Structure 1
Amino acid sequence: MLYDRMDPAPFTDVQLQELGHLKGLKSVLRCRLHAGQGSLAKAIAADPSCQEMVQTLITAYSPANDDNNLGSLARGFHNSSRLKHLFHENVVRAFESLDGKLKSIASFRYAAQRFDSILDIAQLVVLHVRPIVTALLEFRIQDPKKSKWVEHLLTFFTGPKLLLLALLCELAASASRYHHKYDNLGAQPGLVTKSAYWLQNLSEELHRLFFFTHGEPLVLADHYTAGYVSMMRSSYDLLIEEGVISGDRLVFYRPGLRSEANLRRVLARELGSIQNVATLYLQALEPGDVSVAASTTLKPLADILGSDVFA
């Protein structure tokens, strides 16, 4: 049996006896739920394109010496009452549903230690592109001092970057399903074989979604309508050009991708970043060299039991 816990320090012999699993206990490992979440964040940080997007849209703090820079998109929408109100108004117009509004209010939060923060906010942006863009433009007109901050955010609402965000959202959703298989409210021991099975399923799922291992990746397939790329396109047309004029000034312009063939080329190019992130993420989840695992993970337990470790 494998007992997951928050930190890798060994149990004392008294704790092992209290658990009642001493005979079947093979090792004490760090909680895979926390380890998986950290591995995903580090894999994203290793890719410059993905990391820049996550920082700009989700994680960046506002500078202490600049009141006109609200930090990331998520922090700006959460901390600015005016911007939040504009967003809610546009969500209601788009969906004509109070439920949609209430869901959006509760979702625009980020904290590094909170599970699924990146996924939650990425989903919110992907599914609300039009209300977010409109709210930012209205906010810019009402508060010209925030123009530079808004302009910087709007540079991420282009076809290629939105497609990358949708792909990142797809990856985070798969990772979340894997992580939460280790939810263990009753603090019961798990099985090593089950962990290996879940990891294998995750690897196969990510390869079907993003790699050419078994043919065309699902994210490139027209029939994959349950994916975030398809859901985003159903509410926001990436093929057409979009421009917004306020007074006699062009305040927003997004070039369209113009054709399905060009969209697929752009999507395939952005897929490379996600493949890099997925590869690093899976490598971090692998158990690694057995001899290393035996000497580092099982040695403390062996010392408690007064026995030797054999790789």
Structure 2
Amino acid sequence: MLSASVPNNTAFHPSTFILLGIPGMQDHITALVAISSFSTMFLAILIGNSAVLFLVVTEPTLHTPIYLFLALLMVTDLISTLALMPKLLCLFWFNDGDIASSACFTQMFFIHGASVVRSALLVAMAFDHFVAVCEPLRYNTILSHSLVGRLGLLAVAKGVILILPMPLLLQRLTFCHKVIPHTYCDHMAVVKMACNHTGLNRIYGLFVILLMVGLDLLLIDATFKALNTCSAHLFVIPVTYVPALFSSITHRFGHNIPPHAHILLANLYLLLPSVLNPIICGIKMREIRDKATKYLCRESE
């Protein structure tokens, strides 16, 4: 696969990139463990998120703001996973790392865009919790379905507006290599393949991660500190933000971190929230648990 790279002094616009995968995981036993782990996570995400989404959509009593936000979160997790996993599994199953440049930039947009949307939805869920605690009598008035819809659209718009410049800025660059040492088209991994000056790309990428992790996390943290309360929402925060921030920092400053450790973390930061969100939000929310139990009991009769 490495033979597909081009010399450092040759700048070009590749029609395809090659995803290298995870260095050090080429032996059969390690690859089998990776395939089993990623396949299991893929199935868990599809089943868990689809089940919660099905319950929220089909149960009228769950058509309340917090569960509508939760449904949007499940959709976001499914989109992120479907953008990542098919190519990743092809890479491990069939050693097929070829990906068209247009598909690479599209994958980048959906994966990173979903991360921004997920973060914005967590802020919306924190706001829901704030209104429920501080203004319980005005809850339905403040958090009307129209406001929930606008907040959902705002979250999607935030993801599109912040992430769309990333692939657009990359298309102006020429590249010295077409082999991406990663399992997916991560923004910084592709930037490092470029020949010409990438300062604008790096600065913009850092701006996005600081806006997502910094501002959104600050708003969520301030909300729960003001309420002096705890909820299932808090369990999602470290799973979502800590690996994302660590992955971004190691891309820029973690030169001594082994490549396989960084790439594994980059995959986990995308997949773990999608695996755990249905468990954390679903199991800890009594209405979801009750409706799931009721539905399963009805099906078994």
- Normalising by structure 1, report the TM-score: 0.29
Structure with max Cα Rg:
1
Higher helix share: 2
Q: Which has the higher contact order (CA 8 A, sep 6+)?
A: 2
